[in-house]
Structure 1
């Protein structure tokens, strides 16, 4: 009876040990595999040697494969190896922040500084745009002022021209009668020469007087030409109501009807403008 009880307890003990081996042993192997994997990664980062890392990873991989790793673990190791092979042996010279110093506080500080800089740039851009708008408004106002100034300058120049022309016209009108007197004096010179009698003598130097009248008339006309004023030819011409005024008409031998017989006062024009109409006597 005692032998059967001992045999039963012995069988239970063996079954318990067998169950523990089946359950605990895989857990122990998984723990060992995880520790080996972490050691491999830490050694690769600290040493920075690609050959040693590859060798250690291959050794660890062989160890892990020998412990019957799952396929997804093998794939993870292959991906990590490929990534690690692409990493350069030395850090770039422009890299100022290392993984050890780039903590969350540093990253937050950099983002805060960047945000403040963006705000400052936006503020300066807004000020610049506002200044440009003011400059554009000032430019438009300056253009309007210059256009108004140019218009007023043109109006003043036109007013000055009109005043000068009107002043010259009024001033010249007083001297036109003098030219009429010179013309009448020249026309009267041959009259005494034609009158001869026993008790009447021809005036001396009459030709010189007539030449003097001609010279005075030429100088007068030259002075008028400086002001663009020209005398209107009337005596012997056909009557033109656009530039002449008929004071009377009379019969004249040897002249056709409508021909100017005599000019009482000469006419003058300035360009297309008639300064004074010629007052004439027309043949009837």
Structure 2
């Protein structure tokens, strides 16, 4: 049984998994090839011609984001960052950012960064083409990235509707997380046992402002929605997407059934 709940406001892609191991719980993967730096000359359109790599002193910057440690899930927000090298003798005029052969943005001053939003599952070659202050392209940085969608597996009687997110200016994110009894049997109890949130694209795990996890001992009839609320701290308004994992257990008849919901959420504008 698949449960997808999508809204334009939250851009939610949630999947449910029953008795899933923690490694599979992330439902995502990202591979990142080594960044390369070469002299590059645009020969028209989005085609590049490569030359021998510049010397250490001439190399103007490194591609520092994305990195191999980062985790992405669709719809992903991927930050492409080119960081100037302190020992470089090259004065940077601008840096153009490419997704494959498609130019997606330009930065003319530090920080040289661009956020690629709403990236669907797939493999991507991200590039940063560096120009010096005379307008000459001098270095091409490339990294290969793979974004995978969450695996969708039935979760028994439960489904997760699109959460309502409210972000404060202090970085506190209130999450209203509606869980619905989608089955035909009554749920006797329902509890969230763990919440994990990863600040995407930085890959930094957030902390729970309120460590108490929501639970309900009231009986939940078929079709009834239980609006669980919890709070996350240190969420950045500019982080793009947040990857959220909600683990719990519910009782149906004589059985206690573990559940897990995982997916990407678009971080709202702070109020």
Q: Greater Rg, structure 1 or structure 2?
A: 1
With normalisation by structure 1, the TM-score equals 0.23
> Which one has the bigger strand percentage?
2
